[in-house]
């Protein structure tokens, strides 16, 4: 089958583009190397929808961030994605470069960022953010900054694109691309795709995809950021708290997540490997020190996990959003480092403009479905609603994840929805089962059983994330027999 568009990569960029393209009468396929959406950079980041003052002047990063931020309200309502404009502080303490804060304020004012201001009244700052360091002298306050689940966003965008006819193919790493004159053949290990146009949204590997297609115009390097995630502490802090930034990154921040946890991080370390997302004791110490500078009383005993994400830094240090210079029908959404999450909705719209400017005629559908069915979140219901739901479907009366109060009904729902979960991590990112204090210690075996039942697979066929992250290698007795035989 010849597709009109193949999008390579299903992070926030690829899924936002997929949804945008699904508004048109087109045949669109998303080709993803891993087993689900948001499995690389889009799953491990700060989850902040930045206000837009920070990116350098005249950069695509700044333009896309400023255009992207206001788009979140409507789409989050349409697709039932939790999103909160909690606002951000850049926290100036003695010794910091306060001119920098004034410059950021000017940027913000020139870019029309709503409500941006510098607050110098320390009593007011303390009232707004009681646990902020006593060394605070002023803050840059941007009320339009928000918090969101980055994988929740990608999952919702992908579901919406699926409802509107986009095909998603997982476990399909693109290994070769051949230009056949008026279409491309895109080879993956177990099958090939044919598409007139390609949108390259392959994150850290976008340079490799570009090279496969014959465009050698840019490179991508990884920059690691490490995090500590603390248990839920609603109200411990109210805003996203940044330090005054460095040249390389926005610095180590302390922030609430949309689910009520607190995180510290990220640091910024350039590295060679595009797959090494391990954390180190040194990196985490740096994160702790950075976090304590802003919130000294941060209770580290509440730490439940640590993780790292890799930024896809292009050689221009800016987003690459353009048609290829030398390959026809190839479009890049590459080098999407921070603020890529904040920008993804605007990047998707910009890609459509570029496609149209390239002479491709796009015709809007009459029957684009803007919304999706509201996911049931058991713990958000009142007692009467819970009672009613359990009467209708007793699976909602069975709590599977005790830390996060996630029911069997919600797990089944996350499997049976369009573009539903197929792995234990797929369940975790859709429902939060396994994301709480015990990190899946109690619920993982139950989740495996439910996946096996619903997908009609053997339990030992259920994986954490992808084929190589197996839970089971055989029955204990088989191992004993093997050991006895080889003894
Ligand atoms: C530490 C850190 C903190 C950040 N914090 C923020 C923040 O708070 N706010 C913000 O706005 N931005 C933030 N970002 C940036 C944001 O996370 C990224 O811009 C965004 O996730 C990029 O999404 P993407 O879809 O372009 O890339 P990805 O999420 O990496 O998606 C690319 C996809 O392409 C797939 N792929 C790769 N190669 C192939 C292949 N050969 N075949 C098929 N598929 C392939 C991958 O498997 C992957 O799923 C942060 C980034 C990091 C690392």
Q: Indicate whether residue 42 lines ligand 1 (CB < 6 A).
A: yes
Q: What is the pLDDT of residue 444?
A: 97
CA of 202 relative to ligand 1 center, distance in Å: 8
Q: Indicate whether residue 8 lines ligand 1 (CB < 6 A).
A: yes
Q: How confident is the model at residue 16 (pLDDT cuts 50, 70, 90)?
A: very high
Counting Cβ atoms within 10 Å, is residue 156 exposed (0-12), middle (13-18) or buried (19+)? buried
| Measured distance CA(285)–CA(265) in Å, rounded | 10
CB contact set of 71 (below 8 Å; sequence gap of 6+): 345, 346, 349
User: At 84, is the secondary structure helix, strand, or coil?
Assistant: strand
pLDDT in tens, 406-452: 999 999 999 999 999 999 999 999 999 999 999 999 999 999 999 99
CA of 143 relative to ligand 1 center, distance in Å: 25
Which of 6, 10, 11 to mutate for ligand 1's pocket (most ligand atoms within 8 Å of CB)?
A: 11
- 13-16, long-range: CB < 8 A, 24+ apart: 13/42, 13/201, 13/203, 13/333, 13/336, 13/340, 13/344, 13/347, 13/348, 14/199, 14/201, 14/202, 14/333, 15/153, 15/154, 15/157, 15/158, 15/161, 16/157, 16/344, 16/345, 16/347, 16/348
Taking alpha carbons only, the member of 162, 179, 178 closest to residue 170 is 162
Q: Indicate whether residue 311 lines ligand 1 (CB < 6 A).
A: yes
Tokens of 75: 């789409």
Q: Indicate whether residue 12 lines ligand 1 (CB < 6 A).
A: yes
Which of 37, 44, 46, 312 to mutate for ligand 1's pocket (most ligand atoms within 8 Å of CB)?
A: 46
Query: DSSP label at 149?
Result: -
- CA triple 94-98-99, angle to 5 deg: 155
CB contact set of 229 (below 8 Å; sequence gap of 6+): 257, 261, 262, 263, 303, 304, 305, 306, 307
Q: What is the pLDDT of residue 247?
A: 67
> If you take atom 37 of ligand 1, which residue's CA is the nearest one?
202
| Measured distance CA(424)–CA(444) in Å, rounded | 7
Question: Burial letters for 196-207: b for 16+ Cβ neighbours within 10 Å, e otherwise?
Answer: bbbbbbbbbbbb
CA of 411 relative to ligand 1 center, distance in Å: 26
Q: What is the pLDDT of residue 475?
A: 77
- Residue 472 reports pLDDT greater than 90: no
Segments in 111-199 forming alpha helices (H): 122-128, 150-163
Note whether 104 and 81 are within 8 A (CB): no
pLDDT in tens, 211-220: 999 999 999 9
Using the atom order of ligand 1, give the atom closest to the CA of residue 333: 26
With pLDDT > 70 as the criterion, what percentage of the chain qualifies? 97
CA of 42 relative to ligand 1 center, distance in Å: 4
Using the atom order of ligand 1, give the atom closest to the CA of residue 226: 1
CA of 310 relative to ligand 1 center, distance in Å: 8
Q: Indicate whether residue 279 lines ligand 1 (CB < 6 A).
A: no
Q: Indicate whether residue 9 lines ligand 1 (CB < 6 A).
A: yes
> If you take atom 2 of ligand 1, which residue's CA is the nearest one?
45
Beta carbons within 10 angstroms of residue 309's beta carbon: 22
Average pLDDT, the chain: 96
pLDDT in tens, 326-359: 999 999 999 999 999 999 999 999 999 999 999 9
Using the atom order of ligand 1, give the atom closest to the CA of residue 212: 41
* Range 220-227 average pLDDT: 98
CA of 209 relative to ligand 1 center, distance in Å: 15
> If you take atom 19 of ligand 1, which residue's CA is the nearest one?
340
| Measured distance CA(343)–CA(110) in Å, rounded | 18
Q: What is the pLDDT of residue 245?
A: 85
Note whether 430 and 392 are within 8 A (CB): no
Q: Indicate whether residue 266 lines ligand 1 (CB < 6 A).
A: yes
CA of 187 relative to ligand 1 center, distance in Å: 22
Which segments of 315-360 are extended strands (E)? Answer: 320-323, 330-334
Q: Indicate whether residue 431 lines ligand 1 (CB < 6 A).
A: no
Of 20-24, 156-160, 348-352, 479-483, least confident by mean pLDDT is 479-483
Among 3, 50, 197, 332, which one carries the catalytic annotation? 50
> If you take atom 25 of ligand 1, which residue's CA is the nearest one?
11
Please state, in angstroms and as integers, the Cα–Cα distance from residue 38 to each residue in 140, 201, 439, 455, following that order: 31, 12, 19, 21
CB contact set of 434 (below 8 Å; sequence gap of 6+): 401, 424, 427, 428, 440, 443, 444, 447
Domains in the chain, CATH or no CATH each? 88-143+221-314 (3.30.9.10), 378-461 (1.10.10)
Can you say whether the dihedral through the CA atoms of 433, 438, 440, 445 is positive or negative? negative
Q: How confident is the model at residue 466 (pLDDT cuts 50, 70, 90)?
A: confident
pLDDT in tens, 353-376: 999 999 999 999 999 999 999 999
> If you take atom 15 of ligand 1, which residue's CA is the nearest one?
338
Q: Indicate whether residue 203 lines ligand 1 (CB < 6 A).
A: yes
Query: Is 169 marked active-site?
Result: no
CA of 40 relative to ligand 1 center, distance in Å: 6
- CA triple 206-158-164, angle to 5 deg: 120
| Measured distance CA(310)–CA(175) in Å, rounded | 22
| Measured distance CA(360)–CA(375) in Å, rounded | 36
């Amino acid at each position: 089958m010849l597709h009109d568009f193949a999008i390579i990569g299903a992070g926030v960029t690829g899924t936002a583009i997929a949804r945008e393209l699904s508004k048109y009468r087109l045949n669109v396929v998303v080709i993803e190397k891993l087993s689900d959406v948001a499995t690389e950079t889009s799953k491990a980041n700060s989850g902040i929808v930045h206000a837009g003052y920070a990116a350098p002047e005249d950069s695509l990063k700044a333009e896309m961030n400023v255009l992207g931020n206001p788009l979140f309200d409507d789409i989050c309502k349409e697709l039932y994605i939790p999103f909160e404009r909690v606002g951000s502080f850049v926290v100036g303490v003695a010794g910091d470069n306060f001119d920098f804060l004034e410059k950021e304020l000017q940027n913000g004012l020139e870019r029309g960022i709503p409500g941006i201001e510098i607050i110098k009244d320390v009593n007011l700052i303390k009232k707004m953010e009681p646990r902020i360091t006593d060394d605070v002298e002023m803050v840059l306050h941007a009320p339009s900054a928000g918090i969101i689940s980055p994988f929740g966003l990608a999952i919702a965008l992908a579901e919406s694109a699926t409802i509107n006819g986009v095909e998603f193919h997982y476990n399909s790493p693109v290994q070769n691309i051949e230009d056949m004159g008026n279409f491309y053949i895109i080879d993956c290990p177990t099958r090939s795709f044919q598409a007139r146009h390609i949108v390259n949204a392959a994150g850290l590997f976008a340079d490799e995809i570009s090279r496969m297609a014959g465009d050698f115009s840019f490179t991508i390097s990884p920059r690691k950021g490490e995090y500590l995630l603390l248990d839920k502490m609603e109200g411990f802090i109210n805003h996203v708290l940044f330090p005054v930034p460095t040249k390389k990154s926005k610095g180590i921040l302390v922030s609430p997540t949309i689910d009520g946890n607190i995180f510290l991080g990220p640091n910024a370390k350039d590295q060679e490997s595009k797959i090494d997302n391990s954390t180190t004791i040194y990196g985490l110490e740096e994160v702790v020190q950075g976090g304590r500078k802003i919130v000294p009383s941060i209770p580290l005993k509440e730490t439940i996990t640590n993780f790292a994400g890799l930024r896809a830094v292009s050689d221009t240090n800016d987003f690459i959003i353009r048609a290829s210079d030398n390959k026809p029908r190839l479009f890049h959404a590459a080098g999407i480092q921070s603020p890529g999450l904040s920008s993804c909705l605007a990047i998707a719209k910009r890609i459509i403009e570029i496609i149209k400017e390239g002479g491709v005629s796009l015709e809007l559908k009459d029957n684009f479905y803007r919304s999706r069915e509201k996911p049931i979140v058991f713990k958000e219901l009142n007692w009467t609603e819970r009672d009613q739901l359990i009467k209708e479907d007793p699976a909602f009366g069975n709590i599977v994840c005790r830390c996060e109060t996630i029911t069997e009904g919600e797990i089944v729902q996350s499997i049976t929805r369009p573009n539903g979960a197929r792995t234990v991590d797929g369940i975790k990112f859709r429902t939060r089962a396994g994301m709480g204090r015990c990190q899946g210690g109690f619920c993982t075996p139950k989740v495996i059983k439910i996946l096996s039942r619903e997908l009609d697979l053997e339990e030992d066929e259920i994986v954490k994330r992808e084929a190589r992250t197996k839970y089971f290698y055989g029955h204990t007795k088989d191992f004993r027999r093997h050991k006895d035989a080889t003894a």
